[in-house]
Amino acid sequence: MISYGSGTVAGTIEQDVVSMGNFSVQSQTFLVVDRLTDGFLAGSASGIMGLGFSAIAATRSTPFWQALGSQLAAPEIAFYLTRFNDDSSAKEEEPGGVFTLGGTNSTLFTGDIEFLNMPSGTPTYWLLTMSAITVQGRSVQITTGNAALVVIDTGSTLIGGPTADVKAIWAAVPGSATVVDQQGFFSFPCSTSVQVTLSFGGKAWPINVTDMNLGPISRGSSQCLGAIIDLSLAENNPPGSGDPTWIVGDTFLKNVYSVFRADPPSIGFAQLSNVAGGSGERECSLVFPMTSRLLLPFQALQAAMVPQRQPRTMVPQRRPRALEAAACFPLVLICLSISDFSFHCRSRIINQNYIAYHDDRCYHCCLHVLVVIQNYLISLDALNVEALYIDCF
């Protein structure tokens, strides 16, 4: 039997050939599950692949990623995780992101990867030390020492921490309160943007306010559920159990490109690129301030619109000067209205100052493209966006 924070599974231990892409392990040990907690797996998921170290393997075997050994170009695994909690059109199941085995995907991050060494000793979990937390721009005092050990875990949805630290975090949010019928959870006014940064001995990494908000605690409520929980109350992880008291999951990891390196044991974070929905600017990207001088180029684009629901490549006879500099910007797709926009296009908020529109259906294209909608200028004004972001992905 294997116990997880959200339930248990049981079965028999077997061996077989396990392959993923071009990688293969001939005699991989794994658990064939025939009993599990109700609701443990949802949707089309049919199993779990652990990515921790062999020292904590419940099957007492070498995990798949470690068994690959020299098959990997580098002793690294890396993740970009998608965000759909701010997408009202998202389906129950959506692509979860990009998992890179044996290296990193340089298109998904910008700048350097900040690697932080794991604590010394035999590697178990992917561990770091929580060194600083800010809430609403102010530092929050947290416990140090063994109580500051953090599991960085892509398999956990939220962020969980020790009681005193989590209480201190929510005490810094006006109007927050414990949720009576959900142990370990806190609520806050839905109108409040909860701004949190985490640091593990290096940079302070901000969490998107959308990720901090799990939605109203009940239908019509003005209080929303927070994404940082008291781990000792919400999961089977009592104080003194020997397990790290912090688990940092996808609430944080959606905001960074994360790299887990086995040798030397370390974890790295980098700023997401524009391809991954981050705010970092890459080569061949342009930022145009919204000024009256740019109204003519937008009007020129709008004048060239094509019949509704039939987006196609558009090459204006006289390209607006603003686009001439974008040598790698090969085409523009047009959506004629907001209703057409919701059908064809997806918006991506780069940050509070920039917004991009692109067509996610163009899987055969090597580049994402800018999408212009009929009332784009009105939309920008309504959103108080100060610049239009044009990017070659």
Q: Retrieve residue 283's tokens.
A: 């080569």
Convert the pLDDT of each residue in 312-337 to its tens digit: 333 333 333 332 222 222 222 222 22
pLDDT beyond 70 at 343: no
- Please give the average per-residue pLDDT across 261-280, as a whole number: 87
Residue 237 confidence class, pLDDT cut points 50, 70, 90:
low
Q: Retrieve residue 241's tokens.
A: 């159990």
Separation CA 314–CA 304 (nearest Å)? 8
Proportion of the chain above pLDDT 90, given as a percent: 52
Separation CA 222–CA 211 (nearest Å)? 17
Residue with more model confidence, 133 or 371: 133
Residue 356 confidence class, pLDDT cut points 50, 70, 90:
very low
What is the model's pLDDT at position 235? Answer: 62
Q: Which of 236-245, 251-260, 378-387 is the most confident on average? A: 251-260
3-state secondary structure of 219: coil
- Please give the average per-residue pLDDT across 65-75, as a whole number: 94
Give yes or no for a contact between 246 and 262, defined as CB atoms under 8 angstroms apart.
Answer: no
pLDDT beyond 50 at 217: yes
Q: Retrieve residue 58's tokens.
A: 């419940």
* 72-276 CATH choice from 3.20.20.60, 1.10.1740.110, 2.40.70.10, 2.160.10.10: 2.40.70.10
Residue whose tokens read 């003194």: 240
* Domain extents in the chain: 1-70, 72-276, 285-391
**Mean per-residue pLDDT over the chain, rounded:** 74
**Number of Cα atoms under 13 Å in the Cβ half of residue 55:** 7
Residue 156 confidence class, pLDDT cut points 50, 70, 90:
very high
What is the model's pLDDT at position 47? Answer: 87
Residue with more model confidence, 244 or 344: 244
Residue 130 confidence class, pLDDT cut points 50, 70, 90:
very high
Convert the pLDDT of each residue in 75-128 to its tens digit: 999 999 999 887 888 888 888 999 999 999 999 999 999 999 999 999 999 999
Residue 242 confidence class, pLDDT cut points 50, 70, 90:
low
Separation CA 254–CA 18 (nearest Å)? 28
pLDDT beyond 70 at 129: yes
Residue 368 confidence class, pLDDT cut points 50, 70, 90:
very low
Whole-prediction pTM: 0.69
What is the model's pLDDT at position 1? Answer: 83
Residue with more model confidence, 385 or 65: 65
Separation CA 302–CA 351 (nearest Å)? 25
- How many contiguous H segments (helices) and E segments (strands) does the chain have? 8, 27
The total number of residues written for the chain in this structure: 393
Taking CA atoms, 342 is separated from 12, 86, 234, 292, 357, in Å, by 48, 14, 38, 27, 11
